Structure 1
């Protein structure tokens, strides 16, 4: 992260859980989903990097811009693989930690301005992350290592140290 510009570092932050907007209220808004404690990490195995891109929360990450999404992965058979990793944070007795992680892939072919992603897959992995599940079995080993290195180095590694053995083991396989 040290070679990145200061502007990118400002955006390279995880959203830490905030107060529950429904705290003390039993009516309107109950049952709604808060994404305040979720961040999106882009893992780019083509460039050997991982970074936070909050625009992915609205399908507007740098990877997703200026391409037309196709419902058939065959339409982008020469595309490059990317991962959007939905990372949910929480606060525990030792401080903030990575509570849930779900990964979804994208295939992007900039030369033809086409891309593929499965919206149901993205929604499922976002939901898994929000529920505190670790859902990264679909990632290749190289991409897992990039994600592990990014999370382990993030802001001195305290959040990684406070995270579950399940997450650490899943990223070490």
Structure 2
């Protein structure tokens, strides 16, 4: 050991030359409120039980990138809040699906659909971000907002949910099944 290293104290509880391990804290999305914050992680939402489903051209598929606006259909697209900016856009949907568990097992507890227009060739799109955020919140709060979906989209979403886990579908509330019936 060199002279420089001598006389330096080691942190309590750590062996010579080994850094002290810090407790790892998990991060979650914080919800802002007027209540006093009660420490790390207080007032957080766990998004691990929310899936992102994209419906495009009658096909429904899970795309985790949609959580950060980086789904397959959104990549490389510049979005506007003005529909007129996307005259040749095709209608796509993001559906937020929340899964919960009761004494019988897991089930589809919330599902909300948000429209967007995408013109892949022009790399332009339209969506209302506030609606996407609000609908994500509604899904987390165990609500179903699927009335804007057309028959083709409802059928595609129903097929995907059943194919993904039929037991979850069977345990899901009638409100979801009625909302997707065609």
TM-score (structure 2 length as normaliser): 0.76
Q: How many residues align?
A: 146
Counterpart check, 1:131 vs 2:127: no
Q: CA deviation digits over 1:53-91, x for unaligned, max 9? A: 001001000100011111201111211111100000011
For residue 46 of structure 2, what is the aligned residue in structure 1? Answer: 34
Q: Which one has a larger percent helix, Structure 1 or Structure 2? A: 1
Q: For residue 161 of structure 1, give the secondary structure of its aligned residue in structure 2.
A: helix
For residue 11 of structure 1, what is the aligned residue in structure 2? Answer: none
2:179 to 167, 170, 173: 170
Give matches, 1:151-166, under 5 Å: 151-155=161-165, 157-166=166-175
User: Equivalents in 1 of 2:116, 2:173: separation in Å?
Assistant: 27
Decide which structure has the larger Cα Rg and report it: 2
Task: Tell me by how many angstroms 1:27 deviates.
Answer: 3.5
Q: For residue 64 of structure 1, give the secondary structure of its aligned residue in structure 2.
A: coil
Q: For residue 138 of structure 1, give the secondary structure of its aligned residue in structure 2.
A: coil
1:110 to 104, 116, 120: 120
Counterpart check, 1:71 vs 2:81: yes
Counterpart check, 1:87 vs 2:125: no
Counterpart check, 1:58 vs 2:77: no
For residue 121 of structure 1, what is the aligned residue in structure 2? Answer: 131
User: Equivalents in 1 of 2:48, 2:119: separation in Å?
Assistant: 31
Superposed CA RMSD? 1.3
Q: For residue 132 of structure 2, give the secondary structure of its aligned residue in structure 1.
A: helix
Higher RCO structure (Cα 8 Å, ≥6 apart): 1
Q: CA deviation digits over 1:1-34, x for unaligned, max 9? A: xxxxxxxxxxxxxxxxxxxx8xxxx643221222
Give the ranges of 4+ consecutive aligned residues of structure 1 lying more than 4 Å apart after TM superposition: none
1:101 to 100, 105, 111: 111
User: Equivalents in 1 of 2:147, 2:39: separation in Å?
Assistant: 38
User: Equivalents in 2 of 1:111, 1:27: separation in Å?
Assistant: 48
Q: CA deviation digits over 1:33-62, x for unaligned, max 9? A: 221110101111x2x311100010010001
User: Equivalents in 2 of 1:138, 1:106: separation in Å?
Assistant: 12
